Each structure stands twice: as structure tokens, then as C-alpha cells.
Amino acid sequence: MTIVALLLSSSFANGQYNISGKVSDDKGRPLLGASVYLENTLDGSTSDSLGHFHFSTTEKGNQTIVVSAIGYATAGKPIEVNANISNLEFKLKSTAHDLESVTVTAGSFEASNERDKTVLKPLDIVTTAGANADIVKAIQTLPGTQQQGTQTGLFVRGGDASEAAMVVDELIAQSAFFTTAPGVAARSRFSPFQFKGIAFSSGGYSARYGQALSSVLELNSLDLPDKSNVNLGINMAGVYASGAKLYKTSAIEATGYYNNLQPFYGIASTNFDFYNVPKGGGGSAKYTYKPNKDGILKVLVNYAHFESGTIVPSPFVVGENLNFGIKNDNAYSTISYRQQFKNKWSFYTAASYSFNQDDVNYGAYTSLGKDDRAQFRAEAKWFAASKLSFLAGGELQNFNYSKKFDTAKWSTKNSFTETQAAGYIEADWSPIYWFAIKPGIRYEHSAMLNQTDLGPRLAMALRAGTHGQFSLASGLFYQIPDISYLLYDNKGLQMQQSTHYIANYQWMKGDRTIRVEAYYKDYNQLVRELLATNLPFDPNPYRTLNNTTLVNNSGHGYAKGLEFFVRDKKTIKNLDYWISYSYIDTRRLYKNYPMEATPDFISDHTLNIITKYYIDQWHTQLNVSYGYGSGRPYYNPNYDYAAHPEKFMSDRTPDYQNLSLTINYLRTIHKWFSVIYFGVDNITNQHNVFGYRYSTDGSTRYASVPALYRSVFVGVNFSLTEFNKDEL
């Protein structure tokens, strides 16, 4: 029997060898959990906390030993098994940097549901205190923007509102804001709930877009809804209802709303009186169809009517009030189709038509403004390789503006028609994981100005460490003169120009982001009014131009600045905050400015602190925002400008400050998911001043103030998602 035992053990000893060694990472640190085995066998083991592994095998001869670990490139080498093997050493290379590719971030903030690595999410925008679910108001908490209270629009890096384009599904939104009385800031027409992605570019944007000297705000509408749903809401500004019915490959959605600001203005002490409180309503319908996995068709129609009558300080005669009445009708429809083929090709085509009408009475004068726009876009993207793609496309725009004054004084109609064609091509190439480059060029032709331009664009990104990266963006941008000039006389006018140079550093790790961005922007060919005498200066932004006003493109200017952005969702549990600070130095000679000056919408220093705190136990979200803007320039006629030209626009208003709060309480009542929200804007009732206007003799001045200081807003939203009855 002993012989048998011996025979047995020797038989095994002869057929079995021990293999051992160590696995470490590229920095020589021991690697835990690596799988080490002989290929196509079950002989292997896993490395321990010291990186050691050992196993025995009955295999003999030439074998391949394989080492693999999550986050590291798999290593292998041939070995000959005919004795015990020890002290095998493996060094695995980290693939961490391959997991994230470098992306260009200079000049752009992206909020997307589809990508992980974005600074903001569409939901973050909805919940920003003081923004009242207005996309543009929320965007104004990001660096590069100006605080607003009396003017409508987005003011980006020294540019005025006309220089920022709003784009929905790659189509220009012609009337992106509601029309209001002079001196009353209007909100944008879009609800943040309509969009899956929002990208805000404060400069250096892609060749896909043009006709915006400073900024593009890009909105991408939602695809098929997740489930059929019904959404109902009531708040101090009105009531609304929406519903979506989801079929197998398509969906129909509809919304309807009626707004009346009586309850809202009723309890607030407004700075203006209303003889016709803002009211109106509208609706939309949307059809979405997915013919296949990678294609989507969207058809949308939208209509809204609003009217208001406001007693506002007259922009024409300082110190007097004026009845300003407006009836606005706005309709737009879009159709778009996107199709992707095997991750190789992506095609997109879209068309839209929009119509807007403003029926206005300025005291005793009436005017009727009409504009419409038809546009078409088609583009293709070719994913030539995993890190190389090409985009090429073209767009056509046709728009008409007319303004008819039906009074004894001006019985005139002014109008213009413009047709624009554009083509663009852009490459996106990342030859190596730490570098990406995006060159592009855009061709633009204006029929009205009979002018053709080429706008080159260039952006690149360079990885700096695991979490950091540098980006650069630059480009040449064109825009037709402001509508107010084109309506009267456009003979000889040309495109206005701006050149952007942007550099940024971004560090992003998990839920923490830090960004620093510096830029320089050069303005050329700005439109100037050639007045016989431009002093005394007329600071009225609503001043009426006429056919005798001579204009040319001799204006110019610059903007430069430094911006910081910090976001942190991690340090304190349930607390999410961001801080943005912008410094700007800008001067320009344009419009009726007698000399170069900082425009009246510029605060040199702007600060926003946005906080959101979720209290689990109470299902309550507490959002607090603080906004600050240093004093803004205004025109004081009491200086002797002949002797002291540098005094022009040198006076500054007091600083702007705003503290606001919203509380969202979430709960499910039966099957209804409910959000009850309560908000206070300008809690401290700060009397913010956005400028001053002087009486003709210069003896009395009147402050430009917002429609409201402190305001309270309350509402509730109920949503019901289809409960699948056969779920159980």
C-alpha cells in the first residue's frame, strides 16, 4: 500500500507545477484582484493585497500566462511549464485615461441628460432659486453673463441682447422672448422641461452656427417620453395642463396654458401700475416617431397670445409716465428628422416657420410690428474612425420684418427682407487620448447686404493630469446690423464682426468642478449713427430712427475678462452649490455713442452663488441664490464733455444685489407625484437700480428700476405616469 501512496503522490508531483509571482501597477504599487491564469485552462488565481499570486497546474510545455485587472490593460506572456516557476513579475498599465476622452470646454457650458460629464443638468436649471424655471434667467447665473432686471435678453461678455442667438434643435428661435413694455424684462418662451440638453456658449462656438457676435444658447428638445403621462399645475401666474400618450414607436404630446398675473402682481408692491394686467394663453402639440432604433422624427406646432397694459416711465419724456399697451401673437412650427447609420453616419434635417406680431400703443401712438422667418437646415456627420469625425451642412434662412406706424405723425411702413445661405464644415479629431482638435469653417452669404463672408473656427483641448484639461477656442463671427437700423435704411451697411480668443482650464473629478477662463474679444464694423451732433447724448434705447439718420460700419470695441466657476456636489451630503464670478473690461464705440465707452448694461464684477440643499426626511429641497453686480454706467448730462470727454458714461449706479429662495416639497399623493413650490425673489427687498435718466435740463434724475423688488411665488405641480396594470 505504501508503494501505491508513493506512486500516487509521485504521479501528481510529476504532473503538477507551482506558478507564483507578483502583479503591480505602472507605478510599482501592488495590485489587488488581478486575474492570473494560463490561457484556455482553469488554472489560475487572483492576486492578493500584496499583489502576490500562486497556483498550480497540470498543464505542461508551452503555455500563455495572462494577467487581467479592471482598469488596466491585459498583459500576457508565453512560458514554458516544465518545473515550478516563481517570481514572475507583471506590471499592468492603467487604462484610466482611456476611459475619458478629452473634450473642448473653452467658452461652453453644457447641460445634458445623455452625457455624464457635464457641468450642469437640465434639472439644475429648473431648480435654481430666483430663475422661476426660466432657462435664460438660470443661464444668467453662469460666468460671462450680466444680471438683468429692466432689459430683456441674454447679455454675454460685453455683447448686448441682440448678439446672443437662441437655437432650438439647430433652428434659430426668432422671438425667443415674450414682448413687454419698455423697462420691463421679459422671460423666455421656453420651458426647461421641454429639453434634454442645453448648451450655453459664451464665445468661440462651432461652425454650425453663425449670425451671433457673442453667444449661442443651444436647446435640444426631448425625444420620445419615457411613459404616457399627465401633468397639471396651478400657480400665481396661471394654470396649465399637458399630456403625453406613448405608443410603441411614437408619441403624441399636447400642452395648454392660461396665464394671468393678477394674483402675482396683486400681492406684490409693483413699481409700475397695470391698466391691463399681463394675461394670455397658448398651446402646443408635438408628434414624435421613431421609425427605427436610430431614427427620430419630430413635428411641433406652437401658438401663444399675450397682452398687457403697463404704465411705464416714458423713455421719450423723462419724468412722465406713458400707457404702454401690447398684444402679441406668436406661432411657430418645426419639423426635424435625424437618422444614424451603424455609428458611421448621422444625418439631420430640419425646417421651421415662425410668425410674430406686436400690436403696440405707445400712449396715443400705435404701431404694428410683424416678422416671420422660414428656415431649413441639412447636415451630415461622418464618424470616420473612433476618434475622428467630420460634420458638413448647410442652412437657408428667409426673414421679413415690418413696422407700420399708423398715426398722423408717421404714417409710414418700414420693412426689410433678408435671405441668408450658409454652409459649414468641421472636423473633430483626437489623434491621441490627451489631445483633441476641432477646426471648422463657415461660409455665409447675405442677399440683402450682398455680402459673402468666411468665418474660420478653431478649438482644441489638451489633457493635463487625470482630471484636468486646458482648452482653447477662437473664431471669426459675423452678424447683420441690428433690426432697428435695417428697418429704416440699410444702404451701404455691412456685416458686423467679432473675433474671439478664449483659453480655459477645467478640473473635474466626480462631482467637483473648477473652471478658470480668460478671453479677449475684438469688435469691428459695428454700426454707428453719424449724427450732426451726438451731444447731448440721447440715452433712450427706444429712440426712433428715421430715414435721414445716416449710419455706417465705423464702430468698434473690445471686451476682455476673467471668469471663475466652482461646482461641488460632494463635500457636504445633499448640498449642491456653484459659484461663478466674472470680471469684464469692455468698451465700444457704436450706435449713437459720441466716443468709446463701457455700455450701460455692463457690471465690471458679477458674482452668483447658487445653493441647493435636499432634506431627505422632509422630501424638501431648499434652494438659495445670491447675485451681485457692481455698479453699471449711466449717462449724466451735467458734465462738460467738451472739456472732459472721459467723463462720458463714467458714473456708476449702486451695486446690484439679490437674495432669493425657493422651497420645493415633493411627495407622492396616491399615484400623483406632486411638487409644491414656494419662492421669494429679492428677500431683502433691495432697491436695485439699473440706471438713471435725467430730465432735459439735467436737474432731476429718475432711477430705472425693475417691475418688482421683492416678490412671492407659490404653485403646485401634479404629474401622473401611466401605471402599467399588468406590471404584476
Partner 1 sequence: MKRYILLTAAIALLIVNVQAQNFKETLQKTFVTFDTSFNMQTKIEQSNKLSMIAKKWNTEWVTHYYASYGKVILSYNERDEAKRDAYLDEAEKEKDEAVSILTKENDETYVLNAMIANARMAVNPMNRWQKYGKIFTDNLDKAKAANPDNPRIYYIQGTSKFYTPKAFGGGKKAAMPYFEKANGLFAKESDADITKPSWGKTANTYFFEQCKIED
Whole-number minimum distance, CB 78 to partner 1, in Å? 17
Q: How far is CA 79 from the centre of its chain?
A: 57
Residue that the C-alpha cell 460632494 belongs to: 570
- The DSSP-derived string for 482-495 is PHHHHTT--TT---
Nearer to partner 1, 303 or 665 (CB): 665
**By CB under 8 A, residue 619 contacts partner 1:** yes
Residue from 20, 24, 35, 346 binding partner 1 (CB under 8 A): 35
Whole-number minimum distance, CB 26 to partner 1, in Å? 16
**By CB under 8 A, residue 668 contacts partner 1:** yes
Q: How many residues bind partner 1 (CB under 8 A)?
A: 45
Q: Measured between alpha carbons, how far apart are the two ends of the chain, in Å?
A: 65
**By CB under 8 A, residue 48 contacts partner 1:** yes
Nearest CA among 120, 121, 119, 155 for reference residue 137:
155
Residue from 673, 678, 702, 718 binding partner 1 (CB under 8 A): 673
- Binding mask 221-240 vs partner 1 (x if CB under 8 A, - otherwise)? -----x--------------
492 burial type by CB count under 10 A (0-12 exposed, 13-18 middle, 19+ buried):
exposed
> C-alpha grid cell for residue 354?
415662425
CB within 8 A of 204, min separation 6: which ones?
A: 106, 107, 108, 457, 459, 473, 474, 475, 500, 501, 502
CA 398-332-485 angle, to 5 degrees, is: 45
483 φ, ψ (degrees, to nearest 5):
-55, -40
Whole-number minimum distance, CB 463 to partner 1, in Å? 15
**By CB under 8 A, residue 404 contacts partner 1:** no
Nearer to partner 1, 32 or 374 (CB): 32
Whole-number minimum distance, CB 18 to partner 1, in Å? 17
Nearer to partner 1, 58 or 82 (CB): 58
Q: Left, alpha or beta for 164 (phi > 0: left; psi -120 to 50: alpha)?
A: beta
Nearer to partner 1, 407 or 574 (CB): 574
277 burial type by CB count under 10 A (0-12 exposed, 13-18 middle, 19+ buried):
middle
Of 23-31, 44-52, 273-281, 439-447, the window that binds partner 1 (rule: CB under 8 A) is 44-52
Residue from 89, 116, 640, 697 binding partner 1 (CB under 8 A): 116
Residue from 33, 266, 431, 465 binding partner 1 (CB under 8 A): 33
Whole-number minimum distance, CB 375 to partner 1, in Å? 30
Nearer to partner 1, 675 or 689 (CB): 675
**By CB under 8 A, residue 3 contacts partner 1:** yes
The whole-angstrom separation of Cα 473 and Cα 205 is 8
Q: For residue 726, how many other CB atoms are within 10 A of its CB?
A: 4
CB 669 within 8 A of CB 687: no
Q: For the sheet with 195-201, list strands across it.
A: 108-112, 195-201, 215-221, 164-168, 171-172
Nearer to partner 1, 116 or 640 (CB): 116
The whole-angstrom separation of Cα 506 and Cα 105 is 8
Nearer to partner 1, 11 or 696 (CB): 11
**By CB under 8 A, residue 42 contacts partner 1:** yes
> C-alpha grid cell for residue 256?
395648454
Of 281-289, 453-461, 554-562, 661-669, the window that binds partner 1 (rule: CB under 8 A) is 661-669
**By CB under 8 A, residue 7 contacts partner 1:** yes
**By CB under 8 A, residue 121 contacts partner 1:** yes
CA 103-109-111 angle, to 5 degrees, is: 95
Whole-number minimum distance, CB 81 to partner 1, in Å? 16
CB 280 within 8 A of CB 304: yes
CB within 8 A of 606, min separation 6: which ones?
A: 143, 145, 146, 147, 580, 581, 582, 584, 627, 628, 629, 630
Whole-number minimum distance, CB 232 to partner 1, in Å? 17
727 φ, ψ (degrees, to nearest 5):
-65, -30
Of 67-75, 230-238, 429-437, 544-552, the window that binds partner 1 (rule: CB under 8 A) is 67-75
Whole-number minimum distance, CB 134 to partner 1, in Å? 21
Residue from 9, 10, 14, 15 binding partner 1 (CB under 8 A): 15
Nearer to partner 1, 15 or 266 (CB): 15
Whole-number minimum distance, CB 676 to partner 1, in Å? 12
CB within 8 A of 326, min separation 6: which ones?
A: 179, 180, 181, 306, 307, 308, 309, 358, 359, 360, 361
Whole-number minimum distance, CB 197 to partner 1, in Å? 11
**By CB under 8 A, residue 13 contacts partner 1:** no
**By CB under 8 A, residue 64 contacts partner 1:** no
Residues for the chain: how many in total? 728
CB within 8 A of 66, min separation 6: which ones?
A: 35, 36, 37, 38, 39, 74, 75, 76
Nearer to partner 1, 548 or 617 (CB): 617
691 burial type by CB count under 10 A (0-12 exposed, 13-18 middle, 19+ buried):
buried
**By CB under 8 A, residue 40 contacts partner 1:** yes
- The DSSP-derived string for 14-83 is HH-EEEEEEEEETTS-B-SS-EEEETTSS-EEE--TTSEEEEEE---EEEEEEEE-TTB--EEEEEEESS
Residue from 39, 273, 320, 406 binding partner 1 (CB under 8 A): 39
Residue from 24, 30, 44, 52 binding partner 1 (CB under 8 A): 44
Nearer to partner 1, 54 or 560 (CB): 54
Residues numbered 501 to 520 that lie near partner 1 (CB under 8 A) are 510
Q: By three-state DSSP, how is residue 87 classified?
A: strand
- Please report, for residues 259, 416, 534, 662, the alpha-carbon distance to residue 262 in angstroms, rounded to integers and kept in the order given: 9, 38, 43, 21
- Binding mask 360-399 vs partner 1 (x if CB under 8 A, - otherwise)? ----------------------------------------
Of 43-51, 142-150, 353-361, 380-388, the window that binds partner 1 (rule: CB under 8 A) is 43-51
CB within 8 A of 117, min separation 6: which ones?
A: 100, 103, 508
CB 33 within 8 A of CB 51: no
Whole-number minimum distance, CB 43 to partner 1, in Å? 9
Whole-number minimum distance, CB 673 to partner 1, in Å? 6
Of 3-11, 285-293, 306-314, 704-712, the window that binds partner 1 (rule: CB under 8 A) is 3-11
**By CB under 8 A, residue 46 contacts partner 1:** yes
Nearer to partner 1, 68 or 695 (CB): 68
The whole-angstrom separation of Cα 387 and Cα 396 is 30
**By CB under 8 A, residue 71 contacts partner 1:** yes
**By CB under 8 A, residue 572 contacts partner 1:** no
Residue from 13, 27, 61, 70 binding partner 1 (CB under 8 A): 70
Of 109-117, 346-354, 401-409, 588-596, the window that binds partner 1 (rule: CB under 8 A) is 109-117
The whole-angstrom separation of Cα 247 and Cα 225 is 10
Residue ranges binding partner 1 (CB under 8 A):
3-4, 7-8, 11, 15, 32-33, 35, 37, 39-42, 44-46, 48-49, 58, 68, 70-71, 95-96, 99-100, 113-114, 116, 118, 121, 196, 226, 510, 569, 616, 619, 666-668, 671, 673, 727-728
